[in-house]
Amino acid sequence: MGLWRSTHEAEGHMRRSADPELACPVSPVVDIVFSRWTTPILWTLHEHGRQRFVELKGRLTSITPKVLTQRLRQLERDGLVRRSYHAEVPPRVEYEITELGASLGPLFAHLTTWADASLGRVEQARRAYDAQNGMAPPS
């Protein structure tokens, strides 16, 4: 039934969990996929293929090396990225998107379609809200 579970399925899931955060069937996916830097890292690996850390860092210039390392470890733990260590001198480490990570492609494509169609309306709603509530536009 589309992206959302049927009412019957959702009610059964909610009965199993009284916590509203746990009752939402997409919460775990959102936590995994939409953590800061996850989508740019996955997109970069999907677009450019297997890369060394320095190549990724060069393409994601706003991320610090420490945060990139943390995110790559988490993505590897989640099975979305594969880390390959090559025992050479000097050692070489490469990262690539896994089949599981690549399977998120249709989700991202759907979100891109939604963004193209809807972000203008979101911005209009924000401006209207800010004007109604006497808020200055963000600079």
Residues 14 and 55 in one domain: no
pLDDT at 30: 84
- What is the domain range of residue 134? 104-139
Dist CA 101 CA 115 (whole Å): 21
**Cα pseudo-dihedral 66, 68, 70, 71, rounded to 10:** 160
Across 97-104, average pLDDT:
95
Assessment of whether the complete model's pTM goes beyond 0.75: no
Q: Are residues 52 and 76 in the same domain?
A: yes
Q: Are residues 118 and 88 in the same domain?
A: no
Is the domain of 72 the same as that of 47? yes
| Domain count for the chain | 3
Cα distance between residue 80 and residue 77, in whole Å: 8
Region label for 109, one of left (φ > 0), alpha (ψ between -120 and 50) or beta (otherwise): alpha
List pLDDT tens digits, range 17-27.
567 666 788 88
Are 54 and 86 part of one and the same domain? yes
- pLDDT-derived band of residue 1, with 50, 70 and 90 as boundaries? very low
In whole angstroms, give the CA distance from residue 41 to residue 72: 8
Check residue 25 and give its pLDDT. Answer: 82
Return the pLDDT at 9.
Answer: 54
Contact 95, 81 (CB under 8 A): yes
Is the domain of 91 the same as that of 49? yes
pLDDT at 32: 84
